[in-house]
Structure 1
Amino acid sequence: MMKKRIGLLYGGKSAEHEVSLSTAHAVIGALDFDKYEVYPIFITLDGEWRRGERLEGPVNTIEQLQFGDHTATLENNITDFLIDKKQESTHLLSNQQQNSSESLTKQSVHFDVIFPLLHGTNGEDGTVQGLLEVLNLPYVGNGVLASSAGMDKVIMKQLFEIAGLPQVPYTHFIRSEWVKEQEAVLARCEQTLQWPMFVKPANLGSSVGISKATNRDELVKAIKVALQYDRKIVIEQGIEAREIELAVLGNDFPKVSVAGEIKAVTDFYDYDSKYKDGSTTLIIPAELSQDTIASLEDFAKRAFKAIDGSGLVRADFFVTADDKIYINEVNTMPGFTPFSMYPLLWQETGVSYSALIDCLVELAIERYEEKQQLHYKRD
């Protein structure tokens, strides 16, 4: 069987650059090199694209994934960087492409699939997904709409509201409102929400820039922190509840994993708790009633469909002491190391880390082949 050629896209001009490097390191370690030809594509913090040589096996350190100037670097043409027009037609052609009347040389692509391992801005927000759509390349994970909606917490919450999913009270505003009408913004928060409040940049992940506020002074400080990362801010009502997460996998007919619970030592599951100090306990499976589990599974699928998800999503919920459920958010490119919640949930469900990667690649190709059936020319 011919190996599938995969381009791993990681790094990125994002506050979550380091998280992406860890994800790439873990995925490379789990890939079956008897099934795949693996090419690393590194995006620096400055936004420079660099493609490394084909990997022959796992790499020992994360530092090896950060290439120097001796590697292939994107100069002007992203098409030449991702699509090799000189490849022979035996490489990576679908049956439909082989039967096309167009030139085989023109249709030859360098990769069977691109695997974006980018977290946060400029990677998880629909920007890279849009680029790959324009280049007509198969890629793992969510499309443009789901990625952008899943990144923007305001849009996400509005879609959840339309889908009838329960949420905690919230409000939102943009930087210009804060600059011109600070007092009015603070008054709106205090009138519509109760303390404590959680202040978040609307377009960021991994809990970067999130703060808890228990009074007005802390609220002002938290807003200033969040505005360093985004022009749009979300402020949510804090509640006493357990943090429960489920993993969703699939395209049109998604499956849901067992539920897991996060118990953080800090006030909330922040960046350091997730990636640095190891102070958070993950309980898988979570101890919940069967009725609560059934509701969570239903809500997770509805959230996935509300954003038009594909591939993978982690759905995060709050569950109160009296078993009331509130959806918090979905993450369209969740942490993906073997020790991250998403792969751990599937492992407990019976899907290993390497099998999960294989499944995501197949789902990407399935979605791509379906899109190739669309007509763009009137008969």
Structure 2
Amino acid sequence: MNKLNVALIFGGKSGEHEVSLLSTASIYKHINKEKYNVFTIGITKDGKWMYYEGTEENIRNGKWVNLANLNVEINLVPMGNKEVGLLFEDGHIEKLDVLFPVLHGPYGEDGTIQGLFEISQIPYVGCGVLASSVGMDKLICKKVFTQLGLPQVNYTDTNRWVFNKESEKELDSIEDELNYPIFVKPANLGSSVGISKANDRKELLEGINEALKYDSRIVLEQGIDAREIEVAVLGNEDVKASIAGEIKPAKDFYDYEDKYINGTSTYEIPANIDSKSMEDIRNMAVKAFKGIDGKGLSRVDFFIDKKSGEIFINEINTLPGFTNISMYPKMWEATGLDYADLIDKLIDLALDSRK
């Protein structure tokens, strides 16, 4: 059987560049190289595309930038007589059967690069343009969830132009709508980058200023004393949800440092919740995924209020972390689908979506 040519595309311009390197190194290590010819295409922090051929360790530590082969031409846009694929120095072209983006955050998870993939007409892993852009934008996604009838904590929003013009008035308005603690989040980012928890007006101002470094639009959410529950979803038309897992943050919330650096938070899979809550959460995860027209994969995050037991959907991540400690593959592993088979399934779904 001929091997499929699969290109892992990693790095990128977003604040989650380093997360992408960790996820890609893990996928590269576990992908079945007897089934696939694996090509690796890195995108630098300033947006340069480079072909890299080497070890996963040099992907992980960022040294791939200095080891990239700049003589290999990457062409994903059909132009004139040029074939789409990788043009090597000896003149031969490697056509790509599947593109596997491992790009988190803006320019990778927000529909922009998915638009390029659509133009290339090469099947690709994950959600399409619409689902990616909606899933990435926390504010728009919340509005879609409202239309779907999915329960959420109270929230409001602001933006750079309004806040810079009349910050005191905006702070008053936020305090009128929400009680402390308040979570402050950039509208378009993931992996908890730029997110903070404000317990008073001073911290709220600091949190908004920090979030504005990453995006011009800010989401503010009512903080509740809650358990953090996550579910992995997989599929195109026939969508399945994994068993749910619970994050037990070492700090006030599960932040970037804990997700990808020190790993001091713990998790429990399956989550210690009653069977009805487990079923409700899995069903809501599938509903949210289908509601944004998701394809391939996503991780859907929930809160369970510790006092009332109410379940609230938090957000959907259309290209979740894929490191060896990431919840998405861990939850599928606990459900009966191991890491390598999960990669196979995602590639199959990418091919199926183009039929």
* Contact preservation (8 Å) 2:52, 2:68: no
Provide the rounded CA distance (Å) in 1 between the counterparts of 2:45 and 2:64: 10
Residue 197 (str. 1) matches residue 182 (str. 2): yes
**1:119-158 pair list within 5 angstroms:** 119-158=104-143
Give the Å deviation of 1:247: 0.4
RMSD of aligned Cα (Å): 2.0
Provide the rounded CA distance (Å) in 2 between the counterparts of 1:75 and 1:33: 23
Q: Partner residue of 2:275?
A: 290
Residue 365 (str. 1) matches residue 351 (str. 2): yes
Q: Partner residue of 1:221?
A: 206
Which deviations, in whole Å up to 9, do the C-alpha atoms of 1:338-360 show, x marking residues without a partner?
Answer: 22100000000000000000000
Provide the rounded CA distance (Å) in 1 between the counterparts of 2:276 and 2:167: 44
Letter in 1 for 2:254: Y
Corresponding pairs, count:
345
Q: Partner residue of 2:36?
A: 36
Give the Å deviation of 1:306: 1.4
Q: Partner residue of 1:300?
A: 285
Instruction: Please give the TM-score of this superposition, normalised by the length of structure 1.
Output: 0.87
Give the Å deviation of 1:171: 0.3
Provide the rounded CA distance (Å) in 2 between the counterparts of 1:305 and 1:124: 17
* Contact preservation (8 Å) 2:78, 2:120: no
* Contact preservation (8 Å) 1:292, 1:323: no
Provide the rounded CA distance (Å) in 2 between the counterparts of 1:188 and 1:151: 26
Which deviations, in whole Å up to 9, do the C-alpha atoms of 1:229-280 show, x marking residues without a partner?
Answer: 0000000000011000000000112100011000011110000111111110
Which deviations, in whole Å up to 9, do the C-alpha atoms of 1:157-195 show, x marking residues without a partner?
Answer: 000000000000000121101011212211111111010
Q: Structure 1 residues 76 and 117, CA, compared in 2 at 3 Å: closer, same or farther?
A: closer
Letter in 2 for 1:255: K
1:59 to 39, 44, 56: 56
Provide the rounded CA distance (Å) in 2 between the counterparts of 1:174 and 1:280: 32
Provide the rounded CA distance (Å) in 1 between the counterparts of 2:49 and 2:165: 39
Give the Å deviation of 1:51: 1.2
SS in 2 for 1:79: coil
1:68 to 66, 69, 73: 66
Q: Partner residue of 1:320?
A: 305
SS in 2 for 1:72: coil
Provide the rounded CA distance (Å) in 1 between the counterparts of 2:24 and 2:75: 24
Letter in 1 for 2:7: G
Q: Partner residue of 1:338?
A: 324
Give the Å deviation of 1:84: 6.4
1:206 to 162, 182, 191: 191
Which deviations, in whole Å up to 9, do the C-alpha atoms of 1:308-333 show, x marking residues without a partner?
Answer: 10100101000123321000001011
Q: Partner residue of 2:335?
A: 349
SS in 2 for 1:198: strand
Any unmatched runs of 5+ in structure 1?
Answer: 88-107, 370-379
1:241 to 219, 222, 226: 226
Q: Which has the larger radius of gyration?
A: 1
Q: Structure 1 residues 215 and 144, CA, compared in 2 at 3 Å: closer, same or farther?
A: same
Provide the rounded CA distance (Å) in 2 between the counterparts of 1:197 and 1:284: 28
More displaced, 332-341 or 164-173? 332-341
Give the Å deviation of 1:337: 1.4
Give the Å deviation of 1:136: 1.1
Letter in 2 for 1:328: N
Q: Partner residue of 1:99?
A: none
* Contact preservation (8 Å) 1:304, 1:313: yes
* Contact preservation (8 Å) 1:174, 1:232: yes
* Contact preservation (8 Å) 2:225, 2:305: yes
Provide the rounded CA distance (Å) in 2 between the counterparts of 1:77 and 1:353: 30
Instruction: Please give the TM-score of this superposition, normalised by the length of structure 2.
Output: 0.93
More displaced, 196-205 or 332-341? 332-341
Provide the rounded CA distance (Å) in 2 between the counterparts of 1:71 and 1:208: 31
Percentage identity across paired residues of the two chains: 49
Q: Structure 1 residues 76 and 269, CA, compared in 2 at 3 Å: closer, same or farther?
A: closer
Give the Å deviation of 1:109: 7.4
SS in 1 for 2:9: strand
More displaced, 291-300 or 341-350? 291-300
Provide the rounded CA distance (Å) in 2 between the counterparts of 1:47 and 1:149: 23
Provide the rounded CA distance (Å) in 1 between the counterparts of 2:181 and 2:322: 31
Letter in 2 for 1:210: I
* Contact preservation (8 Å) 2:241, 2:282: yes
Which deviations, in whole Å up to 9, do the C-alpha atoms of 1:61-91 show, x marking residues without a partner?
Answer: 424762337613688965279x96298xxxx
Provide the rounded CA distance (Å) in 1 between the counterparts of 2:151 and 2:325: 29
* Contact preservation (8 Å) 2:195, 2:211: yes
Q: Partner residue of 1:6?
A: 6
Provide the rounded CA distance (Å) in 2 between the counterparts of 1:70 and 1:162: 46
